[in-house]
Amino acid sequence: MGSAPPDPEDLRRVQLRRKAILAVVIFAFIGAAAVTQPVSQGTLWEDALATTGLVAICGAILGRAWCSLYIGGRKTREIVMRGPYSVSRNPLYLFSFVAAFGVGAQTGSLTLSLGAVLLTFVVLRQTVRREETWLRATFGAEYDRYLGATPRFWPRWSAWRDEPRLEISPGRFVTTVLDGAVLILAVPVMAILSEAQAEGLLPVLLTLP
């Protein structure tokens, strides 16, 4: 008797676990930001880093929305190998790294910016490994060929392939955009924490570059 086919619910549970862990990481990051202060506080460098971070957040929102046009509703039914998925197996997560940098940059600290990227990478790397196990069990040799030809994260632009037409899932697209738009809240949240520190409402336990 052959083994039972992989259950799509298994993949859904992996993704729910990823969201839960990321939520914990986000709260831990906010806690760290609340008691640290950048060395560059009040300088042009702090403003430049925060502005660069805002551009990164906006770029990540647009990038994730672009990816969702290709992957929305298809992940458990087929291997998506066109558009951004022709150059990277996980472009959605790649844009999540960009978003993490953008959120971290709102603190004015390069250390926290890079730390946010590293934490996001650690969480998503484990998620990707579980997803790859599920995809390999589901699609077999076809997925192995895709895995061998396409980088896990960093894009290989020479491999770009696209579709002349796409079947789009509007609901999933809107959900992805709204999920990404929440990242904009990092701007006022970090500004509030900075103001609370200035008023002496929050202690500054550490100063970071």
> Count of CB atoms within 10 A of residue 2's CB?
4
What is the residue type of 57? I
What is the three-state SS of the chain?
CCCCCCCHHHHHHHHHHHHHHHHHHHHHHHHHHHCEEECCCCCHHHHHHHHHHHHHHHHHHHHHHHHHHHHCCCCCCCCCCCHHHHCCCCHHHHHHHHHHHHHHHCCCCHHHHHHHHHHHHHHHHHHHHHHHHHHHHHHCHHHHHHHHHCCCCCCCHHHCCCCCCCCCCHHHHHHHHHHHHHHHHHHHHHHHHHHHHHCCCCCCCEEEC
Tens-place pLDDT, residues 111-168: 999 999 999 999 999 899 999 998 998 889 999 999 999 999 999 999 999 988 888 8
Q: How many CA atoms lie within 13 A of 111 on its CB side?
A: 11
For residue 4, name the pLDDT band (cuts at 50, 70, 90).
low
Per-residue pLDDT tens digits for 61-90? 999 999 999 987 777 788 889 999 999 999
pLDDT at 2 over 60: no
Q: Say what the pLDDT of residue 1 is.
A: 42
pTM: 0.89
Q: What is the rounded CA–CA span in Å between residue 117 and residue 115?
A: 5
State the Cα torsion 75-77-82-84 to the nearest 10°. 0
Which residue, chain included where needed, has tokens 């990227």? Answer: 117
Q: Taking a C-beta distance cutoff of 8 angstroms, is the pair 180, 65 a contact?
A: yes
For the chain, what is the mean pLDDT? 88
Yes or no: say if 64 and 95 are a contact pair by the CB < 8 Å rule. Answer: yes
- Residue 127 CA to residue 132 CA, distance in Å, equals 9
Q: Quote the CA–CA distance of 98 and 117 in Å, as a whole number.
A: 8
